[in-house]
């Protein structure tokens, strides 16, 4: 297995479980399951034992492996600079092994099967992909400055579609030149890659590159930080180079047009950094810049933000497989409680996965009356002063 040579170098000191101020556990799977096996260090040692033949492949081992949300907190906080960057790579290599053995958890198998057969995890026909934008009057891509990529969640999930409509609608009002692919859009493949299915990922890369190349796409706006990450970091640079932006980066560029927005006085907001925008790609400022453009708004930061943000639990395929999803100790429920403790009445998000995970968590925690989960563009649209854009 690739990266197997780093597994024995983990001391299991546990710095990887924490944010830098140690306020609480910051590894989503450890935080939920609380057995050492579900911590990054435990996972390293268990994997080594598996490769050495000391442990067999079992459903438990598969759950340990696939419940990692790939949030990157362990990479960020590991104190061993010589191998920390490869911790996640090792977990992904192990997932790949399990995919090849055919021993993944049923939920992972079902996700990958749906993606392979239907091109999306919702098992919906391609014709459904463009419906999210019905009535918005968006143009199909035909040489505009940007291609807007809604992704599977933005195109096919009810909450994601609401967000995609809001973001695309705002971009249109701000006169950003963009088009969409509608039914021709493909999954970006981030989840397939992070679930260890490189074959499916590579075929999605090929289809996307072909589509982009044939239409001459030079710049892509990704709705989802997961797609942003995949396009930016995991697509081969040599085949067809294109620039990629997360939508908050585009909105931040338009912040002058947003300066006239105003909230009701004293509106208190907190912001949740999505792992694939923040920790994985170090973009912490763009979303905050947009929020700060709304005058009268008070940004109350949680204790765990930016490189220390606590994942909602939806990364690494867990949004679909739900290995971390249920119960009061689920990461999303922990995160919504933390958000509510700031005294904010709104939790702003910038990722369709986070939006759904945290909205569901607010319901489960009976916090809906106290804190509302809103995506950044939805917030802006609500507070759009007349005449702006």
Partner 1 sequence: MENLFKELAQIVGPSYVSNQPEERFIYSRDPGTMEPREPDFVVLPATTDEVRKIVLLANRRKIPLVPMGGGLVLSGLSRALKGGIVLDMKRMNRILEVNEKSRYALVEAGTSQGMLQAYLKKNHPTLKHSVPDSPPMATIGGNVLIHGSGHLSHAAGFHSDMLNGMEVILPTGEVVKIGSCSTSPYWFGRAPLPDLAGLFLGWFGTTGVVTKLAIKLYPNRPYQDVGVFVTEDPELVPEVLYQAAGVQVAEDITAWMTPKPDWAKGFQHININYAADAPEELIWKRNLIRASLKGLISRKVGGFLPLPPPMKKNFLEAPQTTLAQFADVRKGGGFEYVGGIMPIDLFPRAYRAGIDIAARQGTTYSTGARIIGLGHCMMFFFAYPFNRADESDVDRARRALEETNREVLEMGGIPWKAEAPAQKQIIGRMDPHTLALINRVQSMLDPQGIMNPGNWEVR
- Return left, alpha or beta for 25; rule: phi > 0 is left, psi -120 to 50 is alpha, else beta: beta
The neighbour count for residue 17, using CB atoms within 10 Å, is 21
Place of tokens 């497989």: 321
366 phi-psi bin (left φ>0, alpha ψ -120 to 50, beta other)? left
Closest to partner 1 by CB, 24 or 322? 24
Of 77 and 374, which CB lies nearer to partner 1 in the complex structure?
77
Rounded CA separation 80/98 (Å): 27
Indicate the residue among 65 and 227 with the shorter CB distance to partner 1: 65
Cβ distance to partner 1 smaller for residue 58 or 239: 58
**Minimum gap (Å) between residue 192 Cβ and partner 1:** 26
Nearer to partner 1, 47 or 311 (CB): 47
Shortest separation between residue 328's beta carbon and partner 1, angstroms: 11
Residues that bind partner 1 (CB under 8 A): 8-15, 17-18, 21-24, 33-37, 42, 45-46, 49, 54-56, 58, 60-61, 64, 79-83, 303, 327
Nearest distance in Å: CB 66, partner 1: 13
Shortest Cβ distance from residue 23 to partner 1 (Å)? 4
We find the least distance from the C-beta atom of residue 251 to partner 1, in angstroms, to be 32
Q: Which is nearer to partner 1, 11 or 243 (CB)?
A: 11
The CB-of-199 to partner 1 minimum distance in angstroms stands at 28
CB of 59 to partner 1, least distance (A): 9
Closest to 68 (Cα-Cα) out of 42, 44, 39: 39
CA 371 to the chain's CA centroid:
21
Residue 100 CB, shortest distance to partner 1, in Å, is: 20
Looking at beta carbons only, is 57 or 345 nearer to partner 1?
57
Phi, psi of 387 (to 5 degrees): 90, -15
Sheet holding 146-149, edge to edge: 178-180, 146-149, 219-222, 243-246
| Phi and psi, residue 266, nearest 5° | 75, 15
Considering the complex, what minimum distance in angstroms separates the CB of residue 17 from partner 1?
6
For residue 91, give every residue at least 6 positions away whose Cβ sits within 8 Å of its Cβ, in sequence order, or none: 43, 47, 65, 68, 70
Coil, strand or helix: which one is 360?
A: helix
In the block, tokens 């609480």 appear at: 24
Tokens encoding 259: 């300066």
- Measured from the CB atom, is 143 or 303 closer to partner 1? 303
Length of the chain, please?
389
User: Rounded to an integer, what distance in angstroms lies between the CA atom of residue 378 and that of residue 77?
Assistant: 33
Which residue lies nearer to partner 1 by CB, 17 or 356?
17
- Is 270 in a helix, a strand, or coil? strand
Q: What share of the chain is helix, strand, coil (3-state, %, to 5)?
A: 50, 10, 40
């Amino acid at each position: 297995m690739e990266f197997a040579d780093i597994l024995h170098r983990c001391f299991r000191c546990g710095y990887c479980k924490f944010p830098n101020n140690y306020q609480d556990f910051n590894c989503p799977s450890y935080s939920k399951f609380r057995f050492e096996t579900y911590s990054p260090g435990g996972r390293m040692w268990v994997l080594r034992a598996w490769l050495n033949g000391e442990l067999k492949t079992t459903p438990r081992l598969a759950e340990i492996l696939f419940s990692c949300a790939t949030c990157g907190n362990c990479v960020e906080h590991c104190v061993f600079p010589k191998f920390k960057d490869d911790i996640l790579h090792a977990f992904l290599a192990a997932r790949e092994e399990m995919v090849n053995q055919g021993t993944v958890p049923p939920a992972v198998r079902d996700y990958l099967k749906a993606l392979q057969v239907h091109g999306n995890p919702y098992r919906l026909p391609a014709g459904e992909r463009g419906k999210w934008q019905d009535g918005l009057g968006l143009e199909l891509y035909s040489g505009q400055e940007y291609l807007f990529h809604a992704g599977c969640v933005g195109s096919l999930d009810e909450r994601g579609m609401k967000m995609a409509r809001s973001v695309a609608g705002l971009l249109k009002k701000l006169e950003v030149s963009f088009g969409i692919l509608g039914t021709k859009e493909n999954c970006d493949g981030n989840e397939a890659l992070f679930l260890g299915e490189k074959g499916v990922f590579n075929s999605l890369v090929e289809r996307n590159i072909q589509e982009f190349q044939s239409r001459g796409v030079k710049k892509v706006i990704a709705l989802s930080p997961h797609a942003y990450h995949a396009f930016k970091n995991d697509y081969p640079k040599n085949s067809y180079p294109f620039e990629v932006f997360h939508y908050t980066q585009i909105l931040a560029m338009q912040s002058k047009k947003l300066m006239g927005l105003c909230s009701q006085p004293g509106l208190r907001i907190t912001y949740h950094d999505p792992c694939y925008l923040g920790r994985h790609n170090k973009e912490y400022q763009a979303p905050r810049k947009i929020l700060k453009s709304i005058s009268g708004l008070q940004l109350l930061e949680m204790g765990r933000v930016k490189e220390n943000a606590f994942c909602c639990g939806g990364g690494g395929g867990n949004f679909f497989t739900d290995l971390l999803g249920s119960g009061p100790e689920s990461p999303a429920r922990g995160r919504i409680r933390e958000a509510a403790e700031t005294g904010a009445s709104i939790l702003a998000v910038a990722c369709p996965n986070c939006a759904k995970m945290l909205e569901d968590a607010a319901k489960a925690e009976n916090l809906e009356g106290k804190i509302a989960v809103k995506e950044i563009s939805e917030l802006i649209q609500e507070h759009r002063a007349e005449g702006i854009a």
